[in-house]
Amino acid sequence: MKTNLKKTIIHYSQLNERINFEAMKNTIAERVYDFLKNYPPFKMLSKELLTTISENVKILYFETETKIFEIDEPVGDNFYIVKDGAVGIYSGTKNGLADKCGEGDIFGLRALIRKDKYQLTAITHEESIIYSISLDLLQEIMQTSQEAKEFIITSFATDNNSNTKQDSVLDKLFANEKNSFTEVQAVQYSENTITCSISTSIQEAALLMSQHKVGSIIITKNEKPIGIITDKDLRFKIATGKFGIDQKVDKIMSSPVITSAKEISIAEAQMSMLKCNIAHLCITQDGTPDSKLIGILSEHDIVLSYGNNPSVLIKEIKRSKETAILKSVRQKAEQLLKAYLEQNVDILFIANVLSHINDAITKQLIELSIDEMNEKPPVNFAWLSLGSMGRNEQFLLTDQDNALVFDDVAENEYTKTKDYFISLSHKINDKLNQIGFEYCPADVMARNPKWCLSLSQWNNQFKQWIVSPTNEKVMLCTIFFDYRLVYGKHELVSQMTQSIFKSIDGFEIFLNFLALNATQNPPPLSFFRNFLVEAGGEHKNQFDIKARAIMPLVDAARLLILSHHVGNCNNTILRYQRLVKLEPQNAELFEECIESYKKLLHFRSLQGIRNNDSGRYVDLNSLSKSDKLQLRSSFKPIKDIQELISVRFRLSHLR
Residue 579 domain flag: yes
Kindly state whether residues 272 and 358 are assigned to the same domain. Answer: no
Closest CA to 394 of 326, 345, 337: 337
Kindly state whether residues 254 and 177 are assigned to the same domain. Answer: no
Question: How high is the pLDDT of residue 459?
Answer: 96
Residue 264 to residue 187: CA distance in whole angstroms: 7
Residue 501 domain flag: no
N- to C-terminal Cα separation, the chain = 79
Closest CA to 563 of 586, 597, 538: 586
Q: Which helix (H) or strand (E) holds 58?
A: strand 58-62
Residue 358 CA to its chain's centroid (Å): 9
Kindly state whether residues 369 and 248 are assigned to the same domain. Answer: no
Residue 418 to residue 415: CA distance in whole angstroms: 5
Q: Phi/psi of residue 361, each to 5°?
A: -65, -45
Q: DSSP assignment of 407-473, as one string?
A: ----HHHHHHHHHHHHHHHHHHHHHHHHHT-BPPTT--STTSGGGEEEHHHHHHHHHHHHHS--HHH
Q: Is residue 25 exposed (0-12), middle (13-18) or buried (19+ Cβ within 10 Å)?
A: exposed
Q: DSSP assignment of 213-257, as one string?
A: T-SEEEEEETTEEEEEEEHHHIIIIITTSSS-TTSBGGGT-B-SP
Question: How high is the pLDDT of residue 311?
Answer: 67
For the chain, the domain total comes to: 4
Residue 450 domain flag: yes
Residue 639 to residue 645: CA distance in whole angstroms: 10
Instruction: Identify the DSSP state of 482.
Output: T
Q: Check residue 101 and give left, alpha or beta (phi > 0: left; psi -120 to 50: alpha).
A: beta
Residue 298 to residue 162: CA distance in whole angstroms: 27
Enclosing domain of residue 373: 310-461+483-488
Closest CA to 459 of 378, 403, 405: 405
Residue 172 to residue 174: CA distance in whole angstroms: 6
Closest CA to 290 of 230, 220, 197: 220
Residue 502 to residue 509: CA distance in whole angstroms: 13
Kindly state whether residues 201 and 161 are assigned to the same domain. Answer: no
What value does the CA radius of gyration of the chain take, rounded to a whole number of Å? 30
- Domain boundary (288, 306, 324) is at 306
In three-state secondary structure terms, 562 is helix
Kindly state whether residues 364 and 274 are assigned to the same domain. Answer: no
Kindly state whether residues 136 and 252 are assigned to the same domain. Answer: no
Kindly state whether residues 116 and 174 are assigned to the same domain. Answer: yes
CATH of the domain at 428: 3.30.460.10
Return the half-sphere exposure (C-beta side, CA atoms, 13 A cut-off) of residue 527: 0
Kindly state whether residues 133 and 179 are assigned to the same domain. Answer: yes
Q: Quick check: 369 and 468 in contact, CB under 8 A?
A: no
**Whole-model pTM?**
0.59
Kindly state whether residues 38 and 120 are assigned to the same domain. Answer: yes
Residue 429 to residue 208: CA distance in whole angstroms: 50
Residue 412 to residue 448: CA distance in whole angstroms: 21
Residue 589 domain flag: yes
Q: Check residue 320 and give left, alpha or beta (phi > 0: left; psi -120 to 50: alpha).
A: beta
Residue 121 domain flag: yes
In three-state secondary structure terms, 607 is helix
Residue 470 domain flag: no
Q: Which helix (H) or strand (E) holds 46?
A: none
Residue 339 to residue 583: CA distance in whole angstroms: 36
Residue 395 to residue 400: CA distance in whole angstroms: 12
- Provide, for the chain, the percentages of residues in helix, strand and coil under a 3-state DSSP scheme, each rounded to the nearest 5: 50, 15, 35
Q: Is residue 128 exposed (0-12), middle (13-18) or buried (19+ Cβ within 10 Å)?
A: buried
Closest CA to 385 of 498, 479, 496, 485: 485
Residue 49 domain flag: yes
Kindly state whether residues 322 and 450 are assigned to the same domain. Answer: yes
As averages over each run of 10 residues, the pLDDT of the chain (655 residues) reads: 46 41 56 88 87 89 90 85 89 67 83 71 90 84 72 48 37 35 59 92 94 91 94 90 93 92 75 76 91 88 64 79 89 83 78 86 95 94 94 85 96 96 97 93 95 97 93 91 92 92 90 91 71 86 91 95 88 93 95 93 89 88 84 89 93 68
Residue 266 to residue 149: CA distance in whole angstroms: 12
Residue 475 to residue 561: CA distance in whole angstroms: 17
Max Cα-Cα span within the chain: 93
Kindly state whether residues 369 and 222 are assigned to the same domain. Answer: no
Q: Strand 8-9 relative to strand 78-84: parallel, antiparallel, unpaired?
A: unpaired
Instruction: Identify the DSSP state of 170.
Output: H
Residue 509 domain flag: no
Query: What residues have CB less than 8 Å from 394, skipping those under 6 apart?
Result: 354, 358, 387, 388
- Domain boundary (279, 306, 333) is at 306
Kindly state whether residues 171 and 56 are assigned to the same domain. Answer: yes
CATH of the domain at 72: 2.60.120.10
- Domain boundary (128, 160, 184) is at 184
Question: How high is the pLDDT of residue 386?
Answer: 94
Question: How high is the pLDDT of residue 247?
Answer: 95
Question: How high is the pLDDT of residue 178?
Answer: 32
Written as one letter, the residue type at 148 is A
